[in-house]
Chains A and B, each alone.
Chain A
Amino acid sequence: GENVEQHPSTLSVQEGDSAVIKCTYSDSASNYFPWYKQELGKRPQLIIDIRSNVGEKKDQRIAVTLNKTAKHFSLHITETQPEDSAVYFCAALGAGGTSYGKLTFGQGTILTVHP
């Protein structure tokens, strides 16, 4: 089945700096990659996603890049703010075999933005 690796597990930045979180996946058939933000005690909230027909997608301070050949994708947050502090999960939606239709998550990155 699909396997998703996420790094780093924790990330601490100063307000205004950029933050980058990286993920790799194993199933070359996967073609949808969402990113979720989860604040303490709350639901995972979709913040951005990318489909395999594009290499990059941007939404204000958040961007995601995808390299299908290398099977990795990254989340970039610019001009970080304290309210960006949360756990971020990358995920890959399986598109083949026993992984079809299943969302596999990375282990999560705890992002802390210091004022």
Chain B
Amino acid sequence: DTEVTQTPKHLVMGMTNKKSLKCEQHMGHRAMYWYKQKAKKPPELMFVYSYEKLSINESVPSRFSPECPNSSLLNLHLHALQPEDSALYLCASSQVPAVSTDTQYFGPGTRLTVL
């Protein structure tokens, strides 16, 4: 089973709200990723977790706060977002972190709209 799940599917929030995106995989993968994708653009890497530790932060603003509670779960906490943060947020996982031939599998994404 190569399934990554994400909740919610859609989220609308105001600029003062606090919300969280959730991602789950039960494939025993030890690397998990957050990507942001704007319309008609490729996914852009935000964060990488390897063995539940944050290993890469692509200079993402602090209003995005990732968390990896265990090897199956990945959260993205959102606070004080801007309308330009509206996008599709994709989670991905791969089997072995920092291996240069490791396949990443994507979840269905959360469509975020910031009003």
Contacts and interface: CB of A to CB of B under 8 A. Distances in A.
Q: How large is the interface on B (under 10, 10 to 19, 20 to 34, 35 or more residues)?
A: 20 to 34
B63 to A, nearest CB: 22
Interface in B4-51: 31, 40-43, 45, 48, 50
Nearest to A51: B101
A105 B43 contact: yes
Q: How large is the interface on A (under 10, 10 to 19, 20 to 34, 35 or more residues)?
A: 20 to 34
B69 to A, nearest CB: 22
Contact of A108 (B42, B106, B109): B42
A59 to B, nearest CB: 14
B103 A34 contact: yes
A103 interface: yes
A20 interface: no
B98 A32 contact: no
Nearest to A36: B106
Interface string A4-38: 00000000000000000000000001111010100
Contacts of A36: 106
B98 A93 contact: no
Interface of B: 31, 40-43, 45, 48, 50, 55-56, 90, 97-109
The 9 tightest CB contacts between A and B, nearest first, are: A105-B42, A95-B100, A32-B101, A43-B106, A101-B98, A43-B108, A44-B106, A51-B101, A89-B42
